[in-house]
Amino acid sequence: MDDEKILLSHGAGGLKTQRLIRGIFRKHLGNPYLQQELDAALIEVSSRKIAFTTDSFVVSPIFFPGGDIGKLAVCGTVNDLAVMGAKPLYLTLGLIIEEGLPMETLDRLVYSMGQTAHQAKVQIVAGDTKVVEHGACDQIYINTSGVGAVPPDLDLSPRRMAPGDKVIVSGPVGNHGIAILAAREGLKFSPPPASDCTYLSDLIDRVVSTGAGIKCMRDPTRGGLATTLVELAGQSGLGIKLFEEDVPVDPQVKGACSMLGLDPLYMANEGKIALVVESKDAPAVVHEIQKHEAGRGAGIIGEVVGDHPGKVVMETGLGTLRALHMLEGDPLPRIC
Site for a second copy in 209-228 (CB under 8 A): 218-219, 221-223, 227
Residues that bind a second copy (rule: CB under 8 A) add up to a total of: 81
Q: For residue 193, what are the contacts with CB-CB under 8 A and spacing of at least 6?
A: 65, 175, 178, 179, 182, 250, 252, 253, 256
92: β partners: 126, 145
* Residues between 138 and 167 with contacts to a second copy, criterion CB under 8 A: 138, 141, 143, 145-148, 150
327 touches a second copy (CB under 8 A): yes
Region of residue 137 (phi > 0: left; psi between -120 and 50: alpha; otherwise: beta)? beta
Residue from 62, 109, 126, 257 binding a second copy (CB under 8 A): 126
* Residues between 227 and 256 with contacts to a second copy, criterion CB under 8 A: 227, 231, 235
Q: How far apart are CA 113 and CA 96, in angstroms?
A: 15
Neighbours of 115 (CB within 10 A): 14
Q: Is 94 exposed, middle or buried (0-12, 13-18, 19+ CB in 10 A)?
A: middle
Q: What's the distance, Cα to Cα, between the start and end of the chain in Å?
A: 29
Residue from 1, 7, 284, 305 binding a second copy (CB under 8 A): 7
Q: Indicate the residue among 251 and 261 with the shorter CB distance to a second copy.
A: 261
Q: Indicate the residue among 41 and 183 with the shorter CB distance to a second copy.
A: 41
* Residues between 18 and 77 with contacts to a second copy, criterion CB under 8 A: 18, 37-46, 48-58
Beta carbons of 276 and 228 less than 8 angstroms apart: no
Q: How far apart are CA 109 and CA 188, in angstroms?
A: 25
Interface mask toward a second copy for 258-297; x: CB under 8 A: ----------x-----------------------------
Q: Indicate the residue among 142 and 253 with the shorter CB distance to a second copy.
A: 142
Distance in Å, CB of 233 to a second copy, minimum: 13
Distance in Å, CB of 138 to a second copy, minimum: 5
Q: How far apart are CA 131 and CA 319, in angstroms?
A: 55
* Residues between 88 and 117 with contacts to a second copy, criterion CB under 8 A: 90, 92-96
Distance in Å, CB of 44 to a second copy, minimum: 5
Q: Indicate the residue among 68 and 252 with the shorter CB distance to a second copy.
A: 68
Query: 151: which DSSP letter?
Result: P
Distance in Å, CB of 29 to a second copy, minimum: 13
Residue from 81, 173, 207, 324 binding a second copy (CB under 8 A): 81
Region of residue 66 (phi > 0: left; psi between -120 and 50: alpha; otherwise: beta)? left
Q: Indicate the residue among 166 and 222 with the shorter CB distance to a second copy.
A: 222
Distance in Å, CB of 154 to a second copy, minimum: 10
Q: Using CB under 8 A, which of the segments 180-188, 247-255, 292-300, 323-331 binds a second copy?
A: 323-331
Q: Indicate the residue among 130 and 290 with the shorter CB distance to a second copy.
A: 130
275: β partners: 168, 217
Q: Using CB under 8 A, which of the segments 78-86, 192-200, 239-247, 280-288 binds a second copy?
A: 78-86
| Residue type at position 5 | K
Q: How far are the Cα atoms of 228, 234, 238, 306 from residue 164, in angstroms, in the given order? A: 19, 17, 11, 8
